[in-house]
Amino acid sequence: MTDDQDSKLPGDAVHAVMVEIHQDLLRFLTRRLGNEDEAADVLHDFYVKVLTRIGDVRETEKLRAWMRRVLETTLIDYYRAQGKRRQSESEYQYLESVRLTGEGKDDLDLIVCMCLYKLLPTLKPEYADILWRADLIGESRESIVSTLGITETNLRVRLHRARQALRQRLEETCRTCPIHGYMDCDCDYGTHLRADIGQDTPKL
């Protein structure tokens, strides 16, 4: 049984949530960068980094904090690349001034938190619960084990499987075209993204 079938939402509702999350991220980046095309490029890079590196997240690391750092570094890389291309000193100083401050990092944390929060109901209940406890509200492993009455080994296994299910949801989300609004779009954006994350053949 797939995670779609095991989730609390029907397939169409799951897809609607993923489209909404994609648009949330795109709107957030567009507000920050002031250009939708550039925002789409940054979102593309963010998805690629998340999907190719999520397996490197340490067992004790909070996925929410890890994703925020990935989004932060993706934006900083963008600012640096823009700075190198700018000939005007004033333009470069402007880009430096809008790099991530404490308030900016809070904004990144909020958008990542909302992304994960909206994805949870699309997963199996036990996966959603473990991700909520461990990765969103930061409940200690000891507390989770005690509350759920499971062993530490079972917790590690359940959390690993939950993160794998979430990764699948993120893959599906990133294949939602920001221009046309549907999955596995054959436009340049969708084609390039699938190639960059090693998914030239769309998943059905």
- 2 has pLDDT over 70: no
Domain ranges of the chain: 3-196
Residues 139-187: tens digit of each pLDDT: 999 999 999 999 999 999 999 999 999 988 888 777 766 555 556 667 6
| Least trusted range by pLDDT, from 93-97, 115-119, 142-146, 154-158 | 93-97
Predicted confidence band of residue 200 (pLDDT cuts 50, 70, 90): very low
* pLDDT at residue 152, rounded to an integer: 93
How many residues are recorded in the chain?
204
Tell me which of 190 and 118 has the higher pLDDT.
118
* pLDDT at residue 148, rounded to an integer: 93
* pLDDT at residue 93, rounded to an integer: 53
Residues 65-89: tens digit of each pLDDT: 899 989 988 988 888 887 766 555 5
Above pLDDT 70, what percent of the chain? 73
* pLDDT at residue 130, rounded to an integer: 95
Query: Model-level pTM?
Result: 0.76
Residues 27-59: tens digit of each pLDDT: 999 988 888 888 988 988 998 888 888 878 887
